Amino acid sequence: MANLTSMSGFLLMGFSDNRELQILHALLFLVTYLLALTGNLLIITVTSLDHRLQSPMYYFLKHLSLLDLFFISVTVPQSIANSLMNNGYISHGQCILQVFFFTALASSEVAILTVMSYDRYVAICRPLQYETIMNSFACRQAVTAVWLAGGLSGLMHTAVNFSIPLCGERVIHQFFCDIPQMLKLACPHELINEIAMAAFTTSAAFICLVSIMLSYVHIFSTVLKIPSAEGQTKVFATCLPHLFVVTFFLSTAGFEFLRPPSDSQSAMDLMFSIFYTVIPPTLNPAIYGLRNEAMKAALQKVLSKGEFAQRKIYLKAIFKF
């Protein structure tokens, strides 16, 4: 540790010093990462290839899957490599990139979830105006704003966080360069800029959460007026998991970022970090896309085409012989 912390980089402590537990952690993270990659790549592929899935809802879902794909790739592969090599060192440049992409993609994810809730609000509460409000130009503008807002947030957090002088050892009690953990290394009198940035980010996240809640309140109040019990069940089965994912993501991230810092690291801190870094990108494909009947039908169609193409190539190879 002395040799590592004397360098310009940081030492990520991860989950355990026990070699067997490190291997177990790497395997669990690898399985989770592969599940997240598979689910999100399936949604991106299906929504890109199937002409029936070109509505705004699936357009936003494709960008959510892109964000999830990048988001989980920022932290998990590095953590797997560190555990397998029994080396928690991460260079200063790698840590800067990790903080930038993590905050940028997390901010973009909150923004795209807000846009998706508004899309559902317009579709259910104002169906006659849906095509006018959610036209292709408006959708492209919304997605562009989502990515730009995330990039701006990442730049501001990275610039402020790495401009603060460090007074402690370069040891981060986390499996990635987590801003709350890095702030424990900063000189106490230099934190005013980061506190202001955290207040701004928290206010923006709170506004997004309130907007999402208002959208779903209007949706549920409209759905309760539907005479068909089957229609109510269908909408509730779709919207309630969405609301749960948003609340889960923002509440766990908010708890980690807003709670008072402590000098010791507990298992709960690591668990909460998994809740907002690993679980949402893994579960989002199942909750937002793969439970959808249209998505299931399109997925079966794409997979059957791929299987047919493989069989055709195989038969051609046989007949050549």
The pLDDT tens digits for 291-313 are 677 777 777 776 675 544 554 44
Rounded to whole angstroms, the Cα distance separating 61 from 242 reads 12
What pLDDT is recorded for position 259?
66
Q: Smallest Cα–Cα separation from 120: which of 64, 60, 49, 204? A: 60
Q: What are phi and psi of 168, to 5 degrees?
A: -105, 175
Residues counted in the chain? 321
CATH topology of domain 11-292: Rhopdopsin 7-helix transmembrane proteins (1.20.1070)
The parts of the chain modelled with pLDDT lower than 50 are: 1-2, 4-6, 307-308, 311-321
CB atoms within 10 A of CB 65: 25
Query: Concatenated DSSP letters for 199-220?
Result: HHHHHHHHHHHHHHHHHHHHHH
- 171: three-class secondary structure by DSSP: strand
Domain ranges of the chain: 11-292
What pLDDT is recorded for position 264?
54
- 7: three-class secondary structure by DSSP: coil
Give the torsion sign (CA, 270, 271, 272, 278).
Answer: positive
Query: Concatenated DSSP letters for 258-291?
Result: HSPP-SS--HHHHHHHHHHHTHHHHHHIIIIIIT
CB within 8 A of 10, min separation 6: which ones?
Answer: 89, 90, 92, 95, 170, 171, 172, 177, 182
Structure tokens given for 100: 């930038």
What pLDDT is recorded for position 307?
47
